[in-house]
Amino acid sequence: MRGATVLITGGTGSFGKAFVKHILNFGYGVKKIIVLSRDELKQSEMAVEFNNDDRLRFFIGDVRDKDRLIRAFYGVDYVIHAAALKRIEVGEYNPGEFLKTNVLGTQNVVEAAITCGVKKCMLLSTDKACAPVNTYGKTKALAESLFVAGNSYSGMNLPRFSVVRYGNVLGSRGSVIHLFKEQAKTGTIKITDLGMTRFWITLDSAVQFVLDCLCVMKGGEIFVPKLPSMRVMDLAMAIAPNTKTEVIGVRPGEKIHEYMINKDESRHALDDMSRYIIYPEYQFWGQTAYSGVPVPEGFEYCSHLNDVWLSVKELKEVVSKDKGFVV
């Protein structure tokens, strides 16, 4: 990235700020980081937070506006597409708005990147996109397809498009940790299901994973990190061990367990030791040799079938220190 210009959509969000902080503080030598988002207040606050670093640029814009994206992408080397609507319950009530941002907005990113000759584009996706049951997951699954197919549109030329798909992010806005901490003040934590499980990743780990995959991507991959699982009930015990719990039932669009690779995807998935790679079934832009060993037949990567779990003690440490972890 030395001397490069990097743009991140949705850059004032939790991931965006962590990404910018990492790039600026760890000697990547970037020429410029462009933060594109819709909220001018958050942009001004972010500029102050980063001491008005002269490598930072702020663009007001919406991924729904392709013309604005083309203007923003001019001269950009790498695009991290993090902009999305992601509140599950909001998506169930407003599916059309999720479609406009998560699907049509992603299509605009692909087309603008091709028009402007960006080198590489990485989409941030979610475990909700695997065997989706809610609006958010369905729109992110379509976004993944658009990014993979983007390699067909650019053909043998640049840019190359790839995807990272990971689980719940510790410390992100709207995290269940914040919800449980607030509920604990009332003396009761509300649990949707006692057996619910989730994959877990810290912001710092998510940023590093994206950068690692950006380095090795060839185009068309969906990169999946190897993450620990946790029981939501254990998380509640870690946050407030002496607080009562109330089971309120699963919310609309919510799963009991999350998948990051399902059986059908595993037919074209590889294990390269450090992560899983789902390679495209159709490659209209030429055959690409992806590294790794095929996963076993019938393989599923699911939060309740995982080999690695965070204990209540480990969850306490992670929550208190926002500590990264390696599986």
Residue 224 burial class via C-beta count within 10 angstroms: exposed 0-12, middle 13-18, buried 19 and up: buried
3-state DSSP call for residue 271? strand
* CB neighbour list of residue 266: distance below 8 Å, 6 or more residues apart: 295, 296, 297, 298, 299, 300, 301
Strands (E), 20-140: 32-37, 56-60, 78-81, 120-126
Return the closest-CA partner of residue 327 out of 224, 250, 254: 224
On whether the CB atoms of residues 11 and 200 are closer than 8 A, the answer is no
On whether the CB atoms of residues 199 and 170 are closer than 8 A, the answer is no
Give the whole-angstrom CA distance, residue 299 versus residue 226: 14
128 labelled catalytic: yes
3-state DSSP call for residue 121? strand
On whether the CB atoms of residues 129 and 140 are closer than 8 A, the answer is yes
Q: Encoding tokens for residue 128?
A: 């909700």
Cα of 276 vs its chain's centroid, Å: 15
H or E stretch covering 163: strand 160-166
Residue 216: count other Cβ atoms within 10 Å of its Cβ.
Answer: 15
Catalytic residue among 128, 138, 140, 255: 128
Active site positions, annotated: 128
